[in-house]
Amino acid sequence: MPHESLRKWGDFRKQISQLMSSGTTCSYIQLLNTFLYTHCGYRVKEKCQRVEKRLEKACSKMRQKFVGKSGAAYRKLCQKDLNLALRLNELVTVGEVDSALATEKLKCAKIEMVNKELDKSLSDAKVADQAKTEELCNARKEVEELTLENKSLKDHVEKLGQHLNFNNGGKKITE
């Protein structure tokens, strides 16, 4: 791995840790996996502490070595590489990737089923809401019609009472 990459990883990780106040940072293994995958298609297991510590030390040393370097010394340092030996048990195998993929596909299928159920219940709720809205509208119209009919009946009864000289001379019900 080029020394320049290690220096940039160290700078990047320092900037990320300063920006993220919650303590979430990007691990060196995540950076290494991005580098390895684009160059040779390999990946290192995420919980590999040996490689994480080795990269942390290497990045710190590279950041220190690059301080004050310029010109030919800088270019010479950029041309050097770090040899990092990986053990076979530290690499992600095809079987692990396949099992993780199968697990994720199952999760995706479950989520799709739940999504279909939620879509169905949403459409049922919309139909029920529309029916209740129509029912409410009809009830309001009926109330308006009954109010008008009651008003006309009340007016008619009052007119009849006036023609026959019936006056309400009684006391209120509450008295």
Averaged pLDDT in 10-residue chunks for the chain of 175 residues = 82 76 72 83 86 88 85 86 84 85 96 97 97 96 92 80 62 60
Give the pair of three-digit tokens for residue 11: 């700078």
The answer to whether residue 11 is domain-embedded is yes
The answer to whether residue 119 is domain-embedded is no
What pLDDT is recorded for position 170?
A: 63
The answer to whether residue 132 is domain-embedded is no
Domain count, the chain: 1
What pLDDT is recorded for position 171?
A: 65
The answer to whether residue 34 is domain-embedded is yes
DSSP structure string for 1-49: -BHHHHHHHHHHHHHHHHH-TTS----HHHHHHHHHHHHTS--B-TT-H
The answer to whether residue 124 is domain-embedded is no
DSSP structure string for the chain: -BHHHHHHHHHHHHHHHHH-TTS----HHHHHHHHHHHHTS--B-TT-HHHHHHHHHHHHHHHHHHTT--THHHHHHHH-B------GGGBPPHHHHHHHHHHHHHHHHHHHHHHHHHHHHHHHHHHHHHHHHHHHHHHHHHHHHHHHHHHHHHHHHHHHHHHTT----SPPTT-
Cα separation, 13 vs 11, whole angstroms: 6
The answer to whether residue 79 is domain-embedded is yes
Give the pair of three-digit tokens for residue 144: 């308006």
Q: Which domain holds residue 80?
A: 2-86
Cα separation, 48 vs 85, whole angstroms: 13
The answer to whether residue 147 is domain-embedded is no
What pLDDT is recorded for position 103?
A: 95
The answer to whether residue 137 is domain-embedded is no
